[in-house]
Amino acid sequence: MNVWYTEDHSPGVRFSIKLERHLYSGQSEFQKIDILQTTEFGKVLTLDGLVMVTEKDEFIYHDMIVHVPMATNPAIKKVLVIGAGDGGTVRELTKYDSIEQIDMVEIDQMVVDVCLEYLPQTASKLTDPRVHLYYEDGLKFVRNKENAYDLIIVDSTDPFGPGEGLFTKEFYGNCYKALHEDGILVNQHESPFYSEDALGMQRAHQRIVGFFPVCDVYQAHIPTYPSGHWLFGFASKKFDPIQDLDAAAWNALGLTTKYYNTDIHVGSFALPNYVKEQLTDVE
């Protein structure tokens, strides 16, 4: 059998993964959901034909979206996760005994149900007693919260389709309002490399900058995302991700991580010049 899954990474670039089996295909109210069994990347979740997580490289994304803010402020107790239907972000958060409550808001229950069945590697901790699942629009949920969270993680799809509302000024403003006075907002920040992704990345940065005194961007290498070069946004009312990092304290927790460590934490905020330029252009 010689069947390949192919995704357009830009109008002129394609990325292909060899398939073994198509395990699941369904259409929810919001998007098309597929689970693929691949030779190289294990099981893969795609939404509307775009790779969201693979068993082989999901650890990079989930380590970086969770441990960077958690190491910056170890006192975080109440977390809101928006999107993240695969459960990987929640899995990393549950490693911290100090977290008391995790509210997860995913618009599409079908994504969660499919991941619980096919991707236990990421979804296994969604049943943790500290986790409260809400199946509703993230923008609507956060609009009704005020001074309620220490950390908001926006683990969204791309800025078109169901995730559109999570890249808007009204959303970031509402997140600001929903955070405590020392709150942190971390978001999936698209890629600086291909021009369409870069435009989404710049727009996201432009819209966050107005609200938070600390507004940084950090990076990781994620092989199955377009260009592999991916960014995260770190916006905060008080904590600086490098100055306030207490590496010894985090290391003393003894958590096992496959990608994140406190050196990478600091290093990931060192950005290439072309990315710096894209960011300062919109500040």
Which one, of 230, 259, 203, lies nearest residue 51 by Cα?
A: 230
CB of 85 to another protein, least distance (A): 16
User: Does 187 participate in binding another protein (rule CB under 8 A)?
Assistant: no
Q: How many residues bind another protein (CB under 8 A)?
A: 14
155 classed as catalytic = yes
User: Does 244 participate in binding another protein (rule CB under 8 A)?
Assistant: no
Residue 172, amino acid? Y
How far apart, in whole angstroms, are the C-alpha atoms of residue 110 and residue 128?
A: 19
User: Does 174 participate in binding another protein (rule CB under 8 A)?
Assistant: yes
User: Does 164 participate in binding another protein (rule CB under 8 A)?
Assistant: yes
Strand, coil or helix: 211: coil
Neighbours of 4 (CB within 10 A): 10
Q: How many Cα atoms sit within 13 Å of 22 on the Cβ side?
A: 11
Tokens 């809400």 identify what position?
Answer: 134
User: Does 169 participate in binding another protein (rule CB under 8 A)?
Assistant: yes
User: Does 28 participate in binding another protein (rule CB under 8 A)?
Assistant: no
User: Does 42 participate in binding another protein (rule CB under 8 A)?
Assistant: no
Long-range contacts formed by 266-272: CB under 8 A, 24+ apart? 266/242, 268/64, 268/68, 268/218, 268/219, 268/220, 269/216, 269/217, 269/218, 269/234, 269/241, 269/242, 271/217, 271/218, 271/219, 272/192
Shorter beta-carbon distance to another protein: residue 61 or 176: 176
Positions 104 through 143 that interact with another protein (CB under 8 A) = 137, 139-140, 143
How far apart, in whole angstroms, are the C-alpha atoms of residue 155 and residue 133?
A: 14
Shorter beta-carbon distance to another protein: residue 66 or 107: 107
Decide: 201 and 278 in contact? Cβ < 8 Å: yes
User: Does 283 participate in binding another protein (rule CB under 8 A)?
Assistant: no
User: Does 206 participate in binding another protein (rule CB under 8 A)?
Assistant: no
Residue 262: its H or E element = helix 262-267
Shorter beta-carbon distance to another protein: residue 29 or 97: 29
Residue 95, amino acid? K
Shorter beta-carbon distance to another protein: residue 71 or 107: 107
CB of 95 to another protein, least distance (A): 32
Positions 138 through 157 that interact with another protein (CB under 8 A) = 139-140, 143
CB of 218 to another protein, least distance (A): 26
Q: Which of 103, 155, 158, 197 is catalytic?
A: 155
* Site residues for another protein per CB under 8 A: 137, 139-140, 143, 162, 164-165, 168-171, 173-174, 177
Active site members: 155
